[in-house]
Amino acid sequence: MKAKKAKNATAAFEQALATPQKQLYVLQLYVTGMTPRSTRAIANAKKICEEHLQGQYDLSVIDVYQQPQLAKDAQILAVPTLVKKLPLPLRRIIGDLSDRDQVLLGLKLTPKP
């Protein structure tokens, strides 16, 4: 009985490996309150994620005034800063994310025509 379960588990694992899966992008956007620059960065980040990573991203917005320890732990020196934690390598993009081409380049994404 155990051998049959092991074969089924192995087959399921091999099928999962053979099926191409989309990578999940784990992003953290550090902002300072609801300043115009912060709100612009949030809007730009959401728009880029929806257009280029639809269903493949987890975007967290972190207000450094509300959670200063998270910013300190992540060594955030300037805000707004977008941190791409996954997929590796880790990337940091500083600014309000209005230069879409630079953001896409930093995230290793190709612009849509």
CATH of the domain at 41: 3.40.30.10
Output the pTM of the full model: 0.78
Structural contact between residues 77 and 68, judged by C-beta atoms closer than 8 angstroms? no
111 assigned to some structural domain: no
pLDDT (0 to 100) of residue 74: 94
pLDDT tens for the chain, 113 residues long, are 445 555 566 766 566 555 456 789 999 999 999 999 999 999 999 999 999 999 999 999 999 999 999 999 999 999 999 999 999 999 999 999 999 999 999 998 877 66
pLDDT (0 to 100) of residue 12: 61
Burial class of residue 27 in the structure, from the number of CB atoms within 10 Å of its CB (0-12 exposed, 13-18 middle, 19+ buried): buried
What tokens were used for 57? 């991203």
Range of the domain at 88: 21-106
pLDDT (0 to 100) of residue 41: 98
Angle, CA 27 vertex, CA 21 and CA 28 arms, to 5°:
160
11 assigned to some structural domain: no
Cα(10)–Cα(17) distance, integer angstroms:
11
What total number of domains does the chain contain?
A: 1
> Among residues 64, 71, 50, 52, which one has the least CA distance to residue 113?
52
